[in-house]
Amino acid sequence: MESTQIDSTTSETEALTGWRSMVADLNADVQTFKVSWGKAMMWFFIVSDAFIFGAFIAGYAAARIAAPGAWPDTGEIFALHLFGADIPLLLIAIMTFILISSSGTMAMAVNYAYQGNKKVAHRLIMATALLGATFLGMQVFEWWELIGYGVRPWENPFGIPQFGSAFFMLTGFHGLHVTCGVLYLLWVARKVRKGGYEREGNYEGVEIVGLYWHFVDLVWVFIFAFFYLI
Protein backbone atom coordinates (compact mmCIF):
# COMPACT_ATOMS: atom_id res chain seq x y z
CA MET A 1 0.00 0.00 0.00
CA GLU A 2 2.81 2.41 0.90
CA SER A 3 4.66 1.50 -2.32
CA THR A 4 1.57 2.36 -4.37
CA GLN A 5 1.25 5.74 -2.69
CA ILE A 6 4.94 6.46 -3.27
CA ASP A 7 4.66 5.51 -6.95
CA SER A 8 1.57 7.72 -7.34
CA THR A 9 3.28 10.67 -5.66
CA THR A 10 6.37 10.17 -7.83
CA SER A 11 4.25 10.13 -11.01
CA GLU A 12 2.47 13.32 -10.00
CA THR A 13 5.80 14.99 -9.23
CA GLU A 14 7.24 13.94 -12.59
CA ALA A 15 4.13 15.19 -14.42
CA LEU A 16 4.30 18.52 -12.58
CA THR A 17 8.00 18.81 -13.38
CA GLY A 18 7.24 18.09 -17.04
CA TRP A 19 4.62 20.85 -17.22
CA ARG A 20 6.93 23.29 -15.45
CA SER A 21 9.67 22.41 -17.91
CA MET A 22 7.38 23.07 -20.87
CA VAL A 23 6.21 26.40 -19.43
CA ALA A 24 9.83 27.36 -18.78
CA ASP A 25 10.73 26.52 -22.40
CA LEU A 26 7.88 28.63 -23.76
CA ASN A 27 8.72 31.50 -21.42
CA ALA A 28 12.38 31.33 -22.44
CA ASP A 29 11.34 31.46 -26.13
CA VAL A 30 13.17 28.23 -26.95
CA GLN A 31 13.57 27.96 -30.71
CA THR A 32 12.62 25.07 -32.96
CA PHE A 33 14.40 24.82 -36.33
CA LYS A 34 15.94 28.24 -35.57
CA VAL A 35 12.51 29.90 -35.55
CA SER A 36 11.21 31.57 -32.40
CA TRP A 37 7.81 30.66 -30.98
CA GLY A 38 6.45 34.12 -31.70
CA LYS A 39 7.38 34.03 -35.37
CA ALA A 40 6.27 30.40 -35.74
CA MET A 41 2.85 31.15 -34.24
CA MET A 42 2.43 34.18 -36.51
CA TRP A 43 3.19 32.01 -39.55
CA PHE A 44 0.70 29.43 -38.25
CA PHE A 45 -1.93 32.15 -37.95
CA ILE A 46 -1.17 33.52 -41.43
CA VAL A 47 -1.44 30.10 -43.08
CA SER A 48 -4.68 29.25 -41.29
CA ASP A 49 -6.15 32.68 -42.05
CA ALA A 50 -5.14 32.35 -45.69
CA PHE A 51 -7.38 29.27 -45.90
CA ILE A 52 -10.31 31.33 -44.55
CA PHE A 53 -9.77 34.12 -47.07
CA GLY A 54 -9.32 31.50 -49.78
CA ALA A 55 -12.67 29.95 -48.84
CA PHE A 56 -14.34 33.36 -48.94
CA ILE A 57 -12.91 34.16 -52.37
CA ALA A 58 -13.86 30.70 -53.64
CA GLY A 59 -17.39 31.20 -52.29
CA TYR A 60 -17.59 34.56 -54.05
CA ALA A 61 -16.41 32.97 -57.31
CA ALA A 62 -18.98 30.18 -57.00
CA ALA A 63 -21.79 32.67 -56.29
CA ARG A 64 -20.76 34.79 -59.26
CA ILE A 65 -20.60 31.85 -61.65
CA ALA A 66 -23.96 30.51 -60.45
CA ALA A 67 -25.65 33.92 -60.47
CA PRO A 68 -28.84 33.93 -62.56
CA GLY A 69 -28.09 37.32 -64.07
CA ALA A 70 -25.18 39.48 -65.17
CA TRP A 71 -22.74 40.58 -62.46
CA PRO A 72 -22.84 44.35 -61.86
CA ASP A 73 -20.10 46.45 -63.45
CA THR A 74 -17.79 47.39 -60.56
CA GLY A 75 -16.19 50.08 -62.71
CA GLU A 76 -19.49 51.97 -62.73
CA ILE A 77 -20.50 51.22 -59.13
CA PHE A 78 -17.17 52.28 -57.64
CA ALA A 79 -16.55 55.22 -59.97
CA LEU A 80 -15.52 58.50 -58.36
CA HIS A 81 -17.02 61.68 -59.77
CA LEU A 82 -14.28 64.27 -60.29
CA PHE A 83 -13.85 67.21 -62.69
CA GLY A 84 -17.24 66.56 -64.23
CA ALA A 85 -16.53 62.92 -65.10
CA ASP A 86 -16.92 59.51 -63.49
CA ILE A 87 -13.49 57.88 -63.12
CA PRO A 88 -13.85 54.08 -62.72
CA LEU A 89 -12.32 52.53 -59.58
CA LEU A 90 -10.34 55.68 -58.71
CA LEU A 91 -11.08 55.43 -54.99
CA ILE A 92 -10.21 51.71 -54.95
CA ALA A 93 -6.96 52.40 -56.82
CA ILE A 94 -5.99 55.06 -54.26
CA MET A 95 -6.83 52.68 -51.39
CA THR A 96 -4.68 49.98 -52.99
CA PHE A 97 -1.77 52.40 -53.48
CA ILE A 98 -2.00 53.49 -49.83
CA LEU A 99 -1.97 49.92 -48.53
CA ILE A 100 0.93 48.87 -50.78
CA SER A 101 2.86 51.97 -49.67
CA SER A 102 2.29 50.94 -46.05
CA SER A 103 4.09 47.67 -46.79
CA GLY A 104 7.11 49.74 -47.82
CA THR A 105 7.14 51.78 -44.63
CA MET A 106 6.70 48.59 -42.59
CA ALA A 107 9.66 46.92 -44.32
CA MET A 108 11.83 49.96 -43.60
CA ALA A 109 10.66 49.96 -39.98
CA VAL A 110 11.84 46.37 -39.54
CA ASN A 111 15.18 47.23 -41.12
CA TYR A 112 15.78 50.24 -38.86
CA ALA A 113 14.61 48.30 -35.81
CA TYR A 114 17.22 45.61 -36.35
CA GLN A 115 19.80 48.35 -36.80
CA GLY A 116 18.87 49.58 -33.34
CA ASN A 117 17.56 52.93 -34.57
CA LYS A 118 14.37 52.91 -32.52
CA LYS A 119 13.55 56.56 -33.24
CA VAL A 120 13.24 56.07 -37.00
CA ALA A 121 11.64 52.64 -36.54
CA HIS A 122 8.98 54.19 -34.31
CA ARG A 123 8.21 56.90 -36.85
CA LEU A 124 7.92 54.39 -39.68
CA ILE A 125 5.62 52.13 -37.68
CA MET A 126 3.43 55.12 -36.86
CA ALA A 127 3.43 56.06 -40.56
CA THR A 128 2.32 52.52 -41.38
CA ALA A 129 -0.49 52.74 -38.83
CA LEU A 130 -1.54 56.13 -40.25
CA LEU A 131 -1.67 54.72 -43.79
CA GLY A 132 -3.70 51.78 -42.50
CA ALA A 133 -6.12 54.12 -40.73
CA THR A 134 -6.42 56.20 -43.92
CA PHE A 135 -7.30 53.04 -45.84
CA LEU A 136 -9.98 52.24 -43.27
CA GLY A 137 -11.41 55.75 -43.49
CA MET A 138 -11.73 55.43 -47.26
CA GLN A 139 -13.33 52.01 -46.86
CA VAL A 140 -15.87 53.48 -44.44
CA PHE A 141 -16.67 56.11 -47.09
CA GLU A 142 -17.07 53.34 -49.68
CA TRP A 143 -19.45 51.42 -47.42
CA TRP A 144 -21.38 54.60 -46.60
CA GLU A 145 -21.88 55.36 -50.29
CA LEU A 146 -23.06 51.86 -51.19
CA ILE A 147 -25.39 51.61 -48.20
CA GLY A 148 -26.80 54.99 -49.22
CA TYR A 149 -27.48 53.58 -52.69
CA GLY A 150 -29.43 50.75 -51.07
CA VAL A 151 -26.86 47.94 -51.26
CA ARG A 152 -27.42 45.33 -48.55
CA PRO A 153 -26.12 41.77 -48.01
CA TRP A 154 -29.57 40.56 -49.17
CA GLU A 155 -30.41 43.33 -51.64
CA ASN A 156 -28.71 45.14 -54.51
CA PRO A 157 -30.33 47.88 -56.66
CA PHE A 158 -27.57 47.45 -59.26
CA GLY A 159 -28.55 43.87 -60.08
CA ILE A 160 -28.34 40.45 -58.49
CA PRO A 161 -28.38 40.39 -54.65
CA GLN A 162 -25.31 38.14 -54.40
CA PHE A 163 -23.16 41.16 -55.19
CA GLY A 164 -24.01 42.85 -51.89
CA SER A 165 -23.32 39.79 -49.77
CA ALA A 166 -19.97 39.16 -51.53
CA PHE A 167 -18.92 42.79 -51.15
CA PHE A 168 -19.69 43.08 -47.45
CA MET A 169 -18.23 39.64 -46.68
CA LEU A 170 -14.88 40.17 -48.42
CA THR A 171 -14.24 43.83 -47.63
CA GLY A 172 -15.70 43.58 -44.13
CA PHE A 173 -13.55 40.62 -43.09
CA HIS A 174 -10.47 42.26 -44.56
CA GLY A 175 -11.33 45.58 -42.92
CA LEU A 176 -11.51 43.79 -39.56
CA HIS A 177 -7.98 42.51 -40.13
CA VAL A 178 -6.73 45.98 -41.03
CA THR A 179 -8.34 47.42 -37.89
CA CYS A 180 -6.65 44.79 -35.71
CA GLY A 181 -3.40 45.46 -37.57
CA VAL A 182 -3.53 49.20 -36.88
CA LEU A 183 -4.10 48.57 -33.17
CA TYR A 184 -1.27 46.00 -33.17
CA LEU A 185 1.05 48.51 -34.89
CA LEU A 186 0.25 51.20 -32.32
CA TRP A 187 1.03 48.79 -29.48
CA VAL A 188 4.36 47.79 -31.07
CA ALA A 189 5.21 51.45 -31.78
CA ARG A 190 4.61 52.31 -28.13
CA LYS A 191 6.87 49.48 -27.02
CA VAL A 192 9.60 50.58 -29.44
CA ARG A 193 9.39 54.18 -28.21
CA LYS A 194 9.65 53.12 -24.57
CA GLY A 195 12.64 50.86 -25.29
CA GLY A 196 10.89 47.59 -24.50
CA TYR A 197 12.52 45.65 -27.32
CA GLU A 198 15.85 47.31 -26.57
CA ARG A 199 15.77 46.00 -23.01
CA GLU A 200 14.86 42.54 -24.31
CA GLY A 201 17.81 42.72 -26.70
CA ASN A 202 15.68 41.62 -29.65
CA TYR A 203 13.53 43.56 -32.12
CA GLU A 204 11.86 40.46 -33.54
CA GLY A 205 8.49 41.73 -32.34
CA VAL A 206 8.67 44.42 -35.02
CA GLU A 207 9.34 41.78 -37.66
CA ILE A 208 6.38 39.70 -36.43
CA VAL A 209 3.91 42.57 -36.74
CA GLY A 210 5.46 43.22 -40.15
CA LEU A 211 4.62 39.66 -41.23
CA TYR A 212 0.99 40.22 -40.25
CA TRP A 213 0.81 43.55 -42.05
CA HIS A 214 2.34 42.22 -45.28
CA PHE A 215 -0.20 39.38 -45.20
CA VAL A 216 -3.08 41.85 -44.85
CA ASP A 217 -1.72 43.87 -47.78
CA LEU A 218 -1.31 40.76 -49.94
CA VAL A 219 -4.89 39.65 -49.26
CA TRP A 220 -6.15 43.04 -50.43
CA VAL A 221 -4.27 42.61 -53.72
CA PHE A 222 -6.25 39.40 -54.33
CA ILE A 223 -9.55 41.07 -53.37
CA PHE A 224 -8.74 44.02 -55.63
CA ALA A 225 -7.93 41.72 -58.54
CA PHE A 226 -10.77 39.21 -58.21
CA PHE A 227 -13.62 41.40 -56.96
CA TYR A 228 -13.00 44.85 -58.41
CA LEU A 229 -11.09 44.24 -61.65
CA ILE A 230 -12.54 40.99 -63.02
Cα separation, 106 vs 124, whole angstroms? 7
Say if residue 26 is in the same domain as residue 36.
no
Bridge partner list, 81: 86
Count of domains for the chain: 2
pTM of the model: 0.83
Cα separation, 101 vs 171, whole angstroms? 19
Say if residue 88 is in the same domain as residue 112.
yes
Say if residue 135 is in the same domain as residue 81.
yes
Within 7-157, strands assigned E span 80-82, 85-87
Say if residue 50 is in the same domain as residue 164.
yes
CATH number at residue 154: 1.20.120.80
**DSSP labels, 130-157:** HHHHHHHHHHHHHHHHHHHHT-BTTB-T
Say if residue 93 is in the same domain as residue 124.
yes
pLDDT at residue 142, rounded to an integer:
93
Cα separation, 159 vs 139, whole angstroms? 22
Say if residue 179 is in the same domain as residue 165.
yes
Residue spans of the chain under pLDDT 50: 1-2, 6
pLDDT at residue 16, rounded to an integer:
53
Say if residue 99 is in the same domain as residue 176.
yes
φ and ψ at residue 136, rounded to 5 degrees: -65, -40
Identify the domain containing residue 138 by its residue range. Answer: 32-229
